Amino acid sequence: MFAAENGLKGDPRLQGISEAIRVVPHFPKQGIMFQDITTLLLDHKAFKDTVDIFVDRYRDMDISVVAGVEARGFMFGPAIALAVGAKFVPLRKPRKLPGEVISEAYELEYGTDCLEIHVGAVQPGERAIVIDDLVATGGTLSAAIRLLERVGAEVVECACVVGLRDVKGQSRLNGKPLYILVEPRQVCDYEYARVDFAENDDA
Amino acid sequence: MATAEEQQDPRIARISSAIRVIPDFPKPGIMFQDITTLLLDTKAFKDTIDLFVERYRDKNISVVAGVEARGFIFGPPIALAIGAKFVPMRKPNKLPGKVISEEYSLEYGTDIMEMHVGAVEAGERALVIDDLIATGGTLCAAVKLLERVGVHVVECACVIELLGLKGRERLGDRPLFVLVNST
């Protein structure tokens, strides 16, 4: 579900957040309009608004775990965790976490990848949210949900800054609700974005 | 030399004991300082951020640069609290826009760190943050990237300093602030 349809209709913060995200065409390959949140992180007000919207939503939902997906989930998750009084749990690519882990494989367009969590980071029965910058196919977030459920956590919701209304035709992932702040923008809007970067300046 | 430990801030003891040491990771002989357990202790994690925020809030810092990936965990909360932007310093080919790159040496071979062109402006005052400083190679690369575009790096800040690896020396006269020392 989108924030604008869930209590934040007309909230001016959402427009500021959307406009602060830069669209980079054809990254990492032709045809992909990459939603670059690094420009959002440069806009202190928009970044703060992003975190505040998530915090306002989750602070009274008894969340004790904020799980962030490596690496861009790390940029949003900890600030949310600190504000709602939850632990921050990083979900990482293989062989990064030093202690005992459990792993969950997921499919890429070509091949598979793996997400890991430290054993003991989460206790059975804890209420968790999963955070990442963007949801596309939902593969990574689905793996994150499965990992948390395997250690006995209750995944309350997945939260993303950017995402499409439906992931593969579903508004839920593994039966869990998705909460998304803004839709992806297309490059034709870029000229109106507030943050202007020199993209092909070789001079 | 600046460490919060020297002032015996009462919050340091809990932060220090919340860090888990994992022997022989990533290879035999290395005692890995695992900050993920610190992130599970809500008071200790909050205290960690507060200690950095208290130090930097009135220093006119407009940029907090965090080194991938654990610098991404500590940097943004600090940036948000002090009113600065957060700039991720990343491994190659992760940042989608135009970048500048800095090569740095590892124990065997080299690696590359990147920053987006235009993320920072000449004259800005910056902090560089990472979870830990060992040899100082990564931090130094981040500092150089910022200095190359005219940013003044006010200080490097880490949760942990591994003593005996000359990280502080490698930073030269650039100040370093850490919360916890480890041998």
* ipTM, interface predicted TM-score of the complex: 0.95
Contact present, A123 and A97 (Cβ < 8 Å): no
pLDDT band at A191; cut points 50, 70, 90 = very low
Query: Residue A61's CB: how many other CB atoms inside 10 A?
Result: 11
Residue B89: half-sphere exposure toward Cβ, Cα within 13 Å = 29
Within 13 Å of residue A97, how many CA atoms lie on the same side as its CB?
A: 24
Q: Report the gap between the CA of B157 and the closest CA in chain A (Å).
A: 17
Would residue B90 show up in a list of annotated catalytic residues for this protein? Answer: no
Catalytic residue among B55, B70, B90, B168: B70
- pLDDT confidence bin for B7, thresholds 50/70/90: low
User: How far A87 CA lies from chain B's nearest CA (Å)?
Assistant: 5
Asked if residues A102 and A119 have their Cβ atoms less than 8 Å apart, the reply is yes
Q: Of B35, B106, B42, B98, which is closest to residue B72 (Cα–Cα)?
A: B35
Mean pLDDT of chain A: 90
pLDDT at A9 over 50: yes
Over residues B37-60, mean pLDDT: 98
What span, in angstroms and rounded, lies between the C-alpha atoms of A23 and A181?
A: 16
Residue B3 has pLDDT above 70, yes or no: no
Q: Which amino acid is at B121?
A: E
- Chain-chain contact of A75 with B69 (C-beta, under 8 angstroms): no
In whole angstroms, how far apart are CA B109 and each of A177, B38, B94, B103? Answer: 45, 31, 20, 10
Q: What is the pLDDT of residues B88-114, one digit of tens each?
A: 999 999 999 999 999 999 888 999 999
Whether residue B118 and residue A197 make contact (CB cut-off 8 A), yes or no, is yes
Strands B31-34, B20-23: parallel, antiparallel or unpaired by DSSP?
Answer: antiparallel
Say yes or no to pLDDT of A200 above 50.
no
Q: What pLDDT is attached to residue A6? A: 84
Please tell me the distance from the alpha carbon of residue A5 to that of residue B148, in angstroms, as a whole number. 45
Q: Looking at chain B, which runs of residues are DSSP E strands? A: 2-3, 20-23, 31-34, 63-67, 85-89, 99-105, 110-116, 125-133, 152-162, 176-182
For chain A, the 3-state helix, strand and coil shares in percent, each to the nearest 5, are: 30, 30, 40
- pLDDT of amino acid B6: 53
- Does the pLDDT value for residue A199 go beyond 60? no
Give the model confidence (pLDDT) of B161-172 as tens digits. 999 999 999 999
Q: What is the pLDDT of residues A36-77, one digit of tens each?
A: 999 999 999 999 999 999 999 999 999 999 999 999 999 999
Question: For testing the chain B interface, which of A82, A197, A200 should be mutated: the one with the most B CBs within 10 Å?
Answer: A82
Helix/strand/coil percentages in chain B, nearest 5: 35, 35, 35
Closest CA to A87 of A43, A131, A48: A131
Q: What is the pLDDT of residue A196?
A: 44
